[in-house]
A and B are shown apart, each in its own frame.
Chain A
Amino acid sequence: MREIVLIAITAIFVENFVLSKFLGICPFLGVSKKTSTAVGMGGAIIFVITISSTVTWVINEYLLIPNDLTYLQTIVFILVIAALVQLVETVMKKFMPPLYRALGIYLPLITTNCAVLGSALLIAERKYTFLQAVVFGFSAAVGFTLALVLFSGVRERIETNDIPVAFRGLPITLVAAALVSVAFFGFQGLFGI
């Protein structure tokens, strides 16, 4: 139990996907302009990473490892994730139209997101058990959402400030992202991890 909690806390704070592993920077900069879109994207990503971590763990454990094909991980995982997102979208459109509408365009966008693949590959590399894999996937996605929502708050404040001309737009966004990232480095060494 203690181990599970540790994995969750590590994935959310210490090894935050965006702020310390630099995965998924594209949505981090792309959809963090408004808190509402950041929350939408976060919801979609939690959903997809949790499911894809689970499915790729099963495929890795029962298909790739027994046949000694772990070098195929990257390509097989991409295949699985793309197909899975497509399937989830089709099913959701039929049975959960409100959720489908809420997640909207963010769901297909995630198909090629490196955070999703990164999560699957990290789980394989660290040889997590099934439960650990699910918890890690879910917490990593929660960490991703946390970073996204926090940063959207920062950007909404940047919007109303008088920024020097040379820094307007992307430069100040990257500077702010670096500062938020530095803040998260404060979690390094938490519980001696």
Chain B
Amino acid sequence: METVLFPVALVSGLGLIFGLILSYASVKFEVKVDDRIAKVREALPGANCGACGFSGCDNYAEAIVNGAEINRCPVGGPELVAKLSDIMGVENQAGEKMVARVMCQGSWDKVNIKFDYDGIMDCRSAASMSGGPSSCVYGCVGMGSCKKACAFGAITVENGLARIDETKCTGCGKCIAECPKLIIKLVPARSGYSVACSNEEKGAVARKNCKVACIACGKCVKTCPKEAITIVNFKAVIDTAKCENCGECIKVCPTGAIAKYTVLM
């Protein structure tokens, strides 16, 4: 009995002593922190993506309590801003929920291939070689730099074209900064149609380089009942503030440059 009791007593005694030391230390060496920091940190999504401009959610939580704006986290969206405004007692600065969209449909089968690219799998390097292997110098390079930048796994690259899963997209905008062609744009999540083309060349040239390019024919401009579409630099642009998702434009587009998206909210 003795041989069992002593070791048990020793280990539990050690545990007890360490426990006492730790609890003493936690009181003695307590660092006073604003308890709102913990609350704000709890409310933040914890993605640590850095889209707010701070390194990680912990730092942003600290910055908020020290007076930073509460609407800088695109991941949490309007609900988060509402929650934070409760905690911090400042007015709600919520914006609209945004998602990123690739304004291009030029997969390898829609464009001509100028040359076989065999270098580093990075869009910036590929694009520096006479505008990339695709015949459309405005289009997606397809090396997946945006996919690497996405912390939420929302981007897939298939057949030389990046696609964003909008249910996973948080609108943090990291992919936008990564794209050398600047063809990823933030749009409100309620928008159901976008001109998925970024080509700014004249219709004939654009069409020659890509089967689904916008040729600036203007049919959608005439058809749109809300006058939400304009042609800028030989490319149709939908004003998301005026667009009501009626879908008339997509019916008349001769090249298929306008794409339909699932409306999320």
Q: Does A150 contact B (CB under 8 A)?
A: no
CA distance A121 to B30 in the complex (A): 33
Best-buried of B11, B25, B118 by chain A (most CB within 10 Å): B25
Give the contacting residue for A87; candidates B14, B21, B120; CB below 8 A.
Answer: B21
Contact yes or no, B120 A160, CB < 8 A: yes
Contact of B29 among A75, A80, A83, A90 (CB under 8 A): A90
Q: Which of B7, B18, B26, B29 contacts A79 (CB 8 A)?
A: B18
Knowing A83-B18, A83-B21 are in contact, say whether A72-B29 is a contact too (CB < 8 A): no
Which of A80-123 touch B at CB < 8 Å? 80, 83, 86-87, 90-91, 93-95
Given A86-B22, A87-B22, also A162-B121 (CB < 8 A): yes
Q: Which residues of B contact A72 (CB under 8 A)?
A: 7, 10-11
B244: CB under 8 A from chain A? no
Q: How large is the interface on A (under 10, 10 to 19, 20 to 34, 35 or more residues)?
A: 20 to 34
Residues in A with CB closer than 8 Å to B122 are: 160
Interface centre among B10, B26, B30, B122 (most CB of A within 10 A): B10
Report the bound CA distance from A75 to B118 in whole Å. 55
A121 to chain B, nearest CB (A): 17
- Find A93's partner among B6, B11, B31, B118 (CB 8 Å cutoff): B31
Across the interface, name the chain A residue whose C-beta is closest to B29: A94
CB distance from A100 to the nearest CB of B (A): 9
Give the distance in Å from the alpha carbon of A160 to the alpha carbon of B29 in the complex: 46
With A67-B6, A83-B22 given, is the CB distance from A91 to B29 under 8 Å? yes
A39 interface residue (CB < 8 Å to B): no
> Measured between C-beta atoms, what is the minimum distance from B206 to chain A in Å?
31
Residues of B near any A CB (own CB < 8 A): 6-7, 10-11, 14-15, 18-19, 21-22, 25-26, 29-31, 118, 120-122
25 contacts between A and B (CB under 8 A): A69-B10, A72-B7, A72-B11, A75-B11, A76-B11, A79-B11, A79-B15, A79-B18, A83-B18, A83-B21, A83-B22, A86-B22, A87-B21, A87-B25, A90-B25, A90-B26, A90-B29, A93-B29, A93-B31, A94-B29, A94-B30, A94-B31, A160-B120, A161-B120, A162-B118
Closest 4 CB pairs of A and B: A83-B18, A94-B29, A90-B25, A90-B29
